[in-house]
Chains A and B, each alone.
Chain A
């Protein structure tokens, strides 16, 4: 059973470009979470999605950031017009249900560097 997959693992963008980060949850998992981690800091929750629905986006900046989890295919975190402050590691996690007692399984992350 493959784990959570994220691609690309590393992404370099120039200021003003768009960044698209992909996450394929574990087989059988219908809940996806996105987190951002700055160097030497903990993970910050961004958004929680189920198939075709955004359940909680309270941690996501109101502008330039969007997320989706279509019926078919991976979840996408999209950052438009990237700025240097967007440079971070972005982690995706999945779980079979929302209850926190159920473990979240994390992917290896995408490291975004904005030049």
Chain B
């Protein structure tokens, strides 16, 4: 199972672009990369998922280099409401939920 490593915390300011990088050196061929967002006192919320290259939705973009050993979640023009913990998860289509590890995530703080 691919282990992920991401920064414990990050700070930024409103209106900036924020990039959170996750390392997953042991990612397997069938693994997908998924990012969740968790606000205080709430359950995690799915943000984005990808396999390779670039994926974009209304919330974020996910950049995955060719070797897939890392991925970068990009949040454009952040606001105070983007203050949350962001989790990077790696697993394949047929993994049981028990094999997916959330880890401690990256605590993102946005300042005015």
Q: In the docked arrangement, what's the CA distance between A41 and B45, Å? A: 16
How many residues of A sit at the interface, in one of the four size bands? Answer: 20 to 34
B82-112 CB contacts (< 8 Å) to partner A: 87, 91-105
CB pair B98–A56 under 8 Å, yes or no, is yes
Chain B residue at minimal CB-CB distance from A41: B104
With an 8 A cutoff between CB atoms, is A69 at the interface? no
A81-115 CB contacts (< 8 Å) to partner B: 89, 91-93, 98-101, 103-109, 111
Residues of B within 8 A of A106 (CB): 43-45
CB pair B49–A45 under 8 Å, yes or no, is no
With an 8 A cutoff between CB atoms, is A12 at the interface? no
Total A-B residue contacts, Cβ distance less than 8 Å: 70
Residue in A41, A58, A59, A101 whose CB lies within 8 Å of B49: A101
Q: In the docked arrangement, what's the CA distance between A47 and B62, Å? A: 29
- Over the window 19-37 of chain A, the binary record of Cβ atoms lying under 8 Å from chain B Cβ atoms (1 yes, 0 no) is 0000000000000010100
With an 8 A cutoff between CB atoms, is A77 at the interface? no
CB pair A100–B92 under 8 Å, yes or no, is yes
Q: In the docked arrangement, what's the CA distance between A55 and B31, Å? A: 22
With an 8 A cutoff between CB atoms, is B29 at the interface? no
